[in-house]
Amino acid sequence: MATENNEFLPDGTTPNPDYVATGTNSDKKIIDVNDPDVARLISEQVDTKLADIKEKLNKSYTERDEANRKATEAETALKAANIKRLEDEGKHKEALELKLADADAKITSLTKHNTELTRDNSVRNELSGLDFRSTTAYDMAFKTLTQELVMDDKGQWTHRSGVSIREFVSDYAKGEEQQFLFKPKANSGNGTSKPADTNIDTSKGKSLFAMSQADVIKMYEKGDSRR
């Protein structure tokens, strides 16, 4: 005999825990969170949002790079004009000092670039073992991680807190807020997977496209774990 708290479907059967009910009591709809079509829609929706974020970031970086390029060109032209003026005035020593200072600045810039390449390669090596949802997700993680790194007094790249790149990337990948960047983990087959989460707020009959990104990802990941 069913308990008092059990809920019955219109045909008298009990709901499947792999399904989430939406709509009012008089008009219930059942969403199978294990349905491949539902999973595909959710994945597409997440990738679309990530692509939009990447586009905005790329635009911002492009505008920044263009501003830096124009500033560098203006600075180079000003230095050349000052050197020529000094030479025209017969101040060859001062002109030579400016040339040497410019050469030193270029060497410093090249050294900085090579050092940053070492940093970037270190981060990429650590990210290579992670299963990202898409290249957009990978790029977002890479930019976020590299911006948090500094060089210590031994010439090694570390996180601002002092931890190694490996530890920093590992902690980042485990963070709950970053899980939308990665593909949901497949069921290990040990029989310990959890049932689909039925605590998602779908009581108002929201469609998948009307739900928040966090709820959609949550529903997808919980349902996917039962595959």
Question: What are the tens digits of pLDDT across the range 87-131?
Answer: 898 888 888 888 888 888 888 888 888 888 999 999 999 999 899
More confident site: 57 or 18: 57
Provide the number of structural domains found in the chain.
2
- Residue 192, pLDDT above cutoff 90: no
When the pLDDT of each residue in the chain is averaged and rounded to a whole number, the result is 75
Split at pLDDT 50, 70, 90, the class of 195 is very low
> Residue 154 falls within a domain, yes or no?
yes
Residue 85 lies in a domain: yes
Asked if the structure places residue 8 within a domain, the reply is no
* 130 and 54 inside one domain: yes
Q: Is residue 6 part of a domain?
A: no
Q: Please check whether residues 99 and 146 belong to one and the same domain.
A: yes
92 within domain boundaries: yes
Asked whether residue 171 carries a pLDDT value surpassing 50, the answer given is yes
pLDDT value at residue 128: 92
DSSP structural state of residue 177:
G
143 shares a domain with 203? no
pTM beyond 0.75: no
| 163 and 192, same domain (yes or no) | no
- 161 and 55 in a common domain: yes
Same domain flag for 29 and 123: no
CA 221 to the chain's CA centroid: 17
105 part of a folded domain: yes
Question: Is a pLDDT exceeding 80 seen at residue 67?
Answer: yes
C-alpha dist (Å) from residue 147 to 61, 119, 125, 143, 160? 13, 10, 16, 6, 10
Average pLDDT over residues 71-100: 87
User: Tokens for 3?
Assistant: 């308990």
Give CA–CA dist 168/126, Å, rounded. Answer: 10
Question: What is the model's pLDDT at position 203?
Answer: 43
Same domain? 33 vs 46 = no
The closest alpha carbon to 43, from 180, 200, 139, belongs to: 180
Q: What is the pLDDT of residues 142-161, one digit of tens each?
A: 999 999 999 888 888 999 99
Q: 123 and 220 share a domain?
A: no
Do 199 and 120 lie in one domain? The reply is: no
Of 181, 196, 216, the domain-final residue:
181
Residue 113 in any domain: the answer is yes
Q: Is the pLDDT of residue 81 over 50?
A: yes
Q: What is the extent of the structural domain holding 75? A: 39-181
| Domain-located, residue 213 | yes
